[in-house]
Structure 1
Amino acid sequence: MQSTLYPKCVLRGLATTTAIAAIAWATPGLAQESEDPPAAGDQVAANPNAIIVTARRRSETLQNTPVAITAIQPAALEAKGTLDIGDLQGTAPNLLITQQPTGSATANISIRGIAFADVEKSFDPAVGIYVDGVYIGTSTGQYLDFFDIESIEVLRGPQGTLFGRNTIAGVISIRRTKPTMEFGAKVETTVGSFGTWGMRGVLNVPIIEGELGVKFFEFHQQTDGYMRDGFTGQRLNSSNSENFGLAVRYNPSATFDATLTLERQDQTSKPYFASAMVPGDAFCGFVPPGACGGNLTDDLYTAYKVAEHSGFYKADGVTLDMEVGLGAVTVNSITSYRDSDESFYADFGTAGLFIAQRPQTYEQFSQELRFAGDLFGGFDYVAGLYYFESDYELDQSTFVFGAPAGGIGVIGHSESYAAFLDFNWEVFQDVRLSGGGRYTKDKKEYEFPLILSDSVKKSWSKFTPKLTIDWRPTPDMMLYGTWSRGYRSGGFSGRAGTPFSAQTPYDPETVDSFELGAKTEWLNGRGTFNVAGFYTDYKNIQQSTVITADNAQGNETIVVNAAGAKIKGVEADMSFEPLDGLNFSAAVGYTDSKFNGFIIGQPITRPDATIFLQQLDYSDVDPIFAPKWTLSLNGSYTIPVGEADVTLSAGYRYLAEYDQQIAPDPALYGALLAQDFSATPFVVPQNDPRVRSDAQNLLDASISAQVPMNDSGAMANFSLFVRNLLDDRGPSFAFAVAAYPNLWHYGVPREPRFWGASAGFEF
């Protein structure tokens, strides 16, 4: 793709960088004279166990932040052999994370029943993933490897004021460690089931002790996969991932800190999908006997390989994060550029009947400039400007029954501008009023050269306010109430296969969320209990659906605005340390969501191949990725054994069943044909049962040891772990292609029982 994004972003980034550097250089007196106590310093002094979070772009203790937030301790994830972001699933209330297997490093993420599950870069995620303060603009690239993590924060509910558009469900903020500017290293190797092997390392090298340093990092992970070929028994779904780079940090004083990070993500894979077809699906009579009529548990671990599949994803990124203290004002600048090149060639569970090849490129640039400080006693603020730009190009080729069946070509460009303000005002003693707003303007333009001669474009704008009041009746309790609005940009259907669908934009969706919560501490900070209840009014929901179409593929994926939904729920989490070294934590979430007036038109094909258009009413089906219950229970106990510390850990996660796609039950086909065309919408009472993930009971356990290597603090680390100890099997991903008639279904199983061991050292 020939794009002007890179040179434009370099100029903008250089301009911002130069301005910030000039400010820092021109104000050395302020830099030397300013005091910089941590914002949460007094609370940390009162409770050394306090957890510091940056959910509101300022440092605060978790218990003093009037936001529904879960701070996940990286050490707990490392103990159970956590490899990627998917292992966060269930650790926070109402949080669901699965891998989207039709794209490389792609995540489907849902918080409080709000999700958008699609691999296309024309679509915006509903949950914002931020890595070191940088927004990842597509679901591709969000399925991240985990190592060298400093903090993970899951913010639930709309976060539009501080984090911007496309955060209507919430935000997952991940921060990696900064260069320490002291000599040190952390190295770990892991082996496990299914030919899994990994090596991860971080090396810190000082250039000027305490002022300038470099951190090198390298993560490698490979596996043979846990699916089998139905013909040969060969293992399928192998993958090989690399993530490497360096970060340079310059921190000459307490009021200037800059980190430049250069990195690359490189993944190769051989993706395969299992068939979930049953008699009645159009492709069922053409596949091998074992590929039609199987179950959704053990049979999903078998695929029928007829060609060598391949996938690769390569992404390069550069980020410059700077902070300058100017006395009463602190200025932060985050400049980031990221590009990716990927290709995906696979049969979608049809034993060679439907194969797609999807090469595409993507690049994004973002610039955020923030100003923070105290306006007067008891009033602090964060204000800023934000710019985001992206370009992508997709050229998909499709083969049906071995013959070329056309494809999809799309070139997309988007821009977004925003200005925001967030404040805290202590109106009375122990009573704060917080709030603010963000104004966003989005522009999108698309070309569909295979079906349209001209480009299509549209722009949208939105103001997203937030208002919170919190009260501390005692030093150990905070009560709060919040109203916030979230906004997700409109767009065009990136996989449209007909001129009408390509030219028809879908509108933005909005969320109005009301939340009441309480945060409490007890036993001198050894225990916490937080609870929140929420009600969400979700309007103009963007819903991706696959319909039959009069084109070479016979179907197309479009996005429509599915009226609205009402979502309500309760969530709670607690932590408790009754004794030194003994820790318990728990989280529970309940979500009740229901569509309101979800009616769309869909082409229906009769057995004689004639087509009629029928209104289908999906109001009674379950929204996708919205389990009613999530539950997690975790415990760990650290025991001194000689000079070593041995830790026993166990964790249980429960996820209620949930649907993964709006796909009408094929059993209703006969009733629909009997009605034929009618002006009265046909009521669809449920989704196809095959797109439903069953309830999951996931039990993880580990035993780990830290052994001193010398008197200088060097440690050797050893761990034995098992994930999914109960070997709970079922679909991780399931998808129905077209409806009335159904063409075929396919899926991917979740990870079965996995044993592993790791060893490493750090100093």
Structure 2
Amino acid sequence: MRTALSRGAAVAALATTSILAFSAPAFAQEASQAADQSAAADTGDTGAIIVTARRRSESLQSTPVAITAVNTAMLENKAAVNIGDLQGAAPGLLITQQNSGAQAANISIRGLTYADIEKSQTPTVGVVVDGVTIGTNTGQLQDAFDIAQIEVLRGPQGTLFGANTIGGVINITRSKPTMEPGMKAEVSYGRWNTLSAKIVANYGDGSTWGLKGFYFHNETDGFYRNVARNTSDGWSKGDTYGASLLFKPAGSNFDAQLTVENVVQSFNPVVSNLVNNTELFCGLEPDFQGYKQCGRNNTTDLYTTFGDAAESSYHAPDATLEMNLDVGGVKLTSITGWRHSREEQTQDFDGSTSDLYYVDRRQHYTQWSQELRAAGNLFKGFDYVVGGYFFASKYDLTQYTRFFGNALAGSTIDLDTGTYDANGQFVRGKTRSYAVFGDFNWAFADKFRLSFGGRWSHDNKKLANDFFVAGPVGSGDRSFSKFTPKIGLDYRPNSDTMLYASWSRGYRSGGFSPRAATADTASTPFFPETVDAYEVGAKLALFDRKLEINLAGYVSDYKNMQQNLTVPGGPTGNQTITGNVAGGAKIKGVEGDFNLRVTDNLRVTGSVAYMESNFRNFVTCGAYAGGPVATNACGTGLVPFDYSRNNLIYAPKFTNSLNVEHTLPTSFGKIVSTVGWRHISPYDQQLSAASLTATTNGAGEATLVTVNGNDPRVRTTTQDLVDASMTFNFTLGTTDAYFRVFGRNLLNEKTTTHAFTVAGLWSFGMALEPRTYGGTIGVKF
């Protein structure tokens, strides 16, 4: 029994060092907000929406890429706390929370996703705030607060946003200082004893300088119920505060904006127990006061928990400086970004009344980025954006783990959060990247325009891995370079129609495995992966531009995919490393969205996306195209596993949304009513095993194991998410006041937002927020 438990603990230690990840954003290399804040809004009479994601001010309908400009009023009306409520607002977009890291999000666009809470790993979707890319998965679940516009770009965005944006980009622009005295403040209260308060105050001289201060507070008791401790579970408390100074010297073509802020959060990283009778932990988790702990479902049972108390604290200051200078028709832009974070987190990963797997993780992360860009017109009909980019980051992680109440540990250490195995892990990593890029539009003939460009990126990755008792494991130092081109053609037969076609290549850099446990695997890198994306689309304006329709069809060819793999080696007998697998995936789909102004007071918007995806020859230990052995870890005794029958994760076949907004003028002001519906078909959240089929040789030895799909516990149910609000707006002299009532998930859908199985030991999940409702009171002047 001790041997079985030892092996189980070994797999757990390595498969779960950062057990929660899978899906998300980051290390995109960006360019920045080129237009004034006023350009990022609805222009009124024409209904044209101006976007700046291509570093130019252009209307949404004239931009030859698949892009959705999200109506931030929608987020306000539903009292959204973070950008997770964007899920379903753009075709093919999923955003769910990952609570094993602070502000961590699982983000998927067009079925492309990968995330890991380790700071050395780079997801596939970039999240960019005021021109600065957030370099890790943690920190990307941004507050839905003080946002002027959100633009969701679908498909690879390597030319302007750099490596690690093979899925797309979420480009967030916050409001600029108005340079006039003014304030907006509101307080909301809702179910689960949820309280939020927001305030934005502006001051300035009206022309040359303006100062904006902001503060956002949010707290909740959580929607889980822990029956073992007889308390609410999943509580959180957070504060975001800062200031922004805008300076425009009189008589000059120069402006500068400096923004500083700090995020302070604490929360309970709760998990729900999903272990079943095929897993080792089932026999170690007895029934508790009439509740069974083994064999629970992944819907209604999620909301009853059993685990020990745990807490995460997160401090994340940041600063951004943007400067613009117009010199004779050429606009020069500089964006400097700095972000730092400190995290301390304990977590009970088994989620049961038994003390089986508990961790203490402490880490620090710092990033710097600098971009210099020039934009203008070379001649009539030919515009350009060219520039250079630099990015550097460093981090360290200390993790201690407790197995089975520490009964298996050879030595122990007492921390302020409990007693743990003394053989903890210490990881240090550094990244240094630079790039040059160019993006061009050439109207070479009447009604035709050629868009083309490229980016050359160079990344250097360093990682060192040690155990405190066992000693140094190994280290790695490797550079990767890649040129990522794009080309597109659009045709405009008239002012209301645009047709386009494009090809682009996305690239995600290689690196080293933070959970490697041998010198060979710690020093051997995993290699870059690429996506070739082919897209055709149409943008139409009908009925005097009262109806705008955007359509797109795409095929994405995913090559040299990076995946986490469990392989032999190390002091515990097994280790989890990141490697490239043979084959890849093919993803294809069609999508569209529309904006209909039925009347001046009634607007209807919607989106739809259909996607088919499949792995292609996904065999661990396969050959890396043009490189060394794929997994860099096929050791003695490891049988290749074929995952080709599994579904891609976070890749629902069908999603759609429909939103209606109505404004009713009244004697006291107006009443704005909104109703929204988001439909998301089932999707898987982890590469796992429902069952296995072995192929044997003449001696009866397995030569290949075929995985017959993902474990059904990591699959969501069909989600029909209905939200509604009614806002009463009053004019009181020079002050506008409003009162809002809102409801989210009114149909009370219950399913997982993230689920994970751990190597035959146990499984756990995290739950979708059930039906909630509340009210908001606010003023602005």
Using structure 2 for the length normalisation, give the TM-score. 0.88
Q: Which residue, out of 74, 91, 94, partners 1:93?
A: 91
In structure 1, give the amino acid aligned to 2:426. Answer: G
Amino acid at match of 1:723: R
> What is residue 655 of structure 1 aligned with on the other side?
680
1:335-350, aligned counterparts within 5 Å?
335-350=336-351
* SS of aligned partner of 1:283: helix
Asked if the contact 2:521–2:577 (Cα under 8 Å) also holds between the matched residues in 1, the reply is no
1-structure distance, mates of 2:99, 2:771: 20
Structure 1 residue 751 and structure 2 residue 769: aligned? yes
Alignment of 1:341-490 (within 5 A): 341-351=342-352, 352-403=355-406, 404-405=420-421, 406-450=423-467, 452=472, 455-490=475-510
Shift of 1:618: 0.4
Distance in 2 between residues matched to 1:463 and 1:747, nearest whole Å: 39
> What SS class does the counterpart of residue 285 from structure 1 fall into?
helix
2:296 pairs, out of 289, 294, 297, with: 294
Given residue 382 of structure 2, which amino acid in structure 1 is its aligned partner? F
- In the alignment, the residues of structure 2 paired with residue 549 and residue 659 of structure 1 have an alpha-carbon distance, to the nearest angstrom, of 29
Q: Distance in 2 between matches of 1:230 and 1:515?
A: 51
Aligned-residue offset at 1:613:
2.0
Contact preservation (8 Å) 1:469, 1:480: yes
Distance 1:247 1:367 in 2: 19
Change over 3 Å in CA distance of 1:743–1:88 after alignment to 2: same
CA displacement 1:203-226 (0-9 Å, x = unmatched):
0011x3321111000000000011
Give the secondary structure class of the aligned counterpart of 1:49: coil
- Whether 2:217 is the aligned partner of 1:220: answer yes
Q: Is the 8 A contact 1:572 1:589 kept in 2?
A: yes
Structure-to-structure mapping, 1:637-676, within 5 angstroms: 637-665=662-690, 667-668=691-692
Q: Hey, what does 1:25 align to over in structure 2? A: none
Q: 1:744 is matched by which residue type in structure 2?
A: W
Q: What is the Cα deviation at residue 590 of structure 1?
A: 1.2
Cα offset for 1:692? 1.2
- C-alpha deviation, 1:234, in angstroms: 1.2
Residues 125 and 137, structure 1, Cα contact 8 Å, conserved in 2: no
Contact 2:350 2:358 in 1 (8 A): no
Contact 1:79 1:702 in 2 (8 A): yes
Q: 1:90 to 1:37 in 2, by over 3 A?
A: closer
Contact map agreement 1:490 1:506 (CA 8 A) in 2: yes
Question: What amino acid is the match of 2:547?
Answer: G
Identity %: 45
* CA positional deviation for 1:136: 0.4
Aligned residue in 2 for 1:121: 119
CA distance in 2, matches of 1:624, 1:755: 31
| 1-structure distance, mates of 2:642, 2:203 | 62
Distance 1:189 1:350 in 2: 34
How far did 1:45 drift?
A: 8.5
Q: Distance in 2 between matches of 1:77 and 1:615?
A: 46
CA distance change for structure 1 residues 363 and 590 in 2, over 3 Å: closer, same or farther? same
| Residue identity in the other structure for 2:318 | G
Q: 1:691 and 1:428, CA in 2 relative to 1: closer, same or farther beyond 3 A?
A: same
- Say if 1:557 and 1:190 are closer, same or farther in 2 by CA, change over 3 A: farther
Is 1:504–2:524 an aligned residue pair?
yes
Task: Return the offset for 1:452.
Answer: 3.7
Task: From the superposition, tell whether residues 125 and 701 of structure 1 become closer, same or farther in structure 2 (CA, over 3 Å).
Answer: same
What are the Cα deviations for residues 499-521 of structure 1, in whole angstroms up to 9, with x where unaligned? 34322311101111110000000
Give the deviation of 1:44 after TM superposition. 9.2
Conserved 8 A contact 1:230-1:305: no
The Cα of 1:546 is off from its aligned counterpart by: 5.0
Q: CA RMSD in A?
A: 2.3
Contact kept? 1:644, 1:708, Cα under 8 Å: yes
SS at match of 1:471: strand
**Structure 1: which amino acid aligns with 2:221?**
D
Q: Which deviates the most, 638-647 or 374-383?
A: 638-647
> For the Cα contact (< 8 Å) 1:615–1:679, is it kept in 2?
no
Distance 1:251 1:677 in 2: 78
Aligned to 2:409: none
Q: What's the offset of the Cα at 1:601?
A: 5.0
Cα distance change of structure 1 residues 315 and 553 upon mapping to structure 2, 3 Å threshold? farther
Matching residue of 2:545? 525
Cα deviation 1:52-105 (Å, max 9, x = unaligned): 001211100000000100000111111111110110001100001111111111
1:106 pairs with 2:109: no
Describe the shift of the 1:429–1:695 C-alpha distance in structure 2 as closer, same or farther (beyond 3 A).
Answer: same
Give the alignment partner of residue 695 of structure 1, picking from 695, 708, 718.
Answer: 718
TM-superposed CA distance for 1:489, in Å, is: 0.5
Cα displacement (A) at 1:368: 0.4
Distance 1:317 1:228 in 2: 35
**Contact 2:562–2:578 (CA under 8 A) maintained in structure 1:** no
2:705 to 682, 686, 704: 682
Q: CA deviation at 1:591?
A: 1.4
SS state of the match for residue 262, structure 1? strand
**Alpha-carbon displacement from aligned partner over 1:528-576 (angstroms, at most 9, x marks no partner):** 0110000111111112345676544965354444531111100000010
Cα distance in structure 2, aligned partners of 1:548 and 1:730: 34
Displacement of 1:251 after TM fit?
1.5
Question: Does the 8 Å contact 2:695/2:702 carry over to 1?
Answer: no
Amino acid at match of 1:727: N
Which residue of the partner structure matches residue 130 of structure 1?
Answer: 128
Structure 1 residue 288: deviation in Å?
3.2
Contact residue 100 and residue 118 of structure 1 kept, 8 A: no
Q: How does 1:711-722 map to 2 (within 5 A)?
A: 712=734, 714-722=735-743
SS class of match (1:440) = strand
Q: Distance in 1 between matches of 2:141 and 2:187?
A: 21
CA deviations on 1:455-487 (whole Å, 9 max, x unpaired) are 311111000111111010111000000111111
C-alpha distance in structure 1 between counterparts of 2:136 and 2:741, whole Å: 35
Shift in CA distance, 301/152, structure 1 to aligned 2, threshold 3 Å: same
Deviations 1:248-285 (A, max 9, x none): 11022562111000100111012211110000201111
In 2, Cα distance between equivalents of 1:689 and 1:553: 28
Q: 1:698 offset after TM fit, Å?
A: 0.5
Residues 40 and 59 in structure 1, CA contact (< 8 A), matched pair in contact too: no
Structure 1 residue 593: Cα displacement: 1.1
One-letter identity of the residue aligned with 2:218: Q
Q: Tell me the distance in 2 between the aligned counterparts of 1:281 and 1:674.
A: 28
The answer for the alignment partner of 2:157 in structure 1 is 159
Change (3 A) 1:39 1:251: closer
Q: Could you say if the C-alpha distance between residues 614 and 232 of structure 1 is closer, same or farther in structure 2, counting changes exceeding 3 Å?
A: same
**What 5-or-longer segments of structure 2 have no aligned partner?**
1-33, 407-419, 623-635
Within the candidate set 57, 75, 79, 2:77 is matched to 79
Residue 305 of structure 1 and its aligned partner are, at CA, apart by: 2.8
How far apart, in 1, do the equivalents of 2:381 and 2:749 lie?
Answer: 52
SS at match of 2:713: helix
Deviates more, 1:246-255 or 1:586-595: 246-255
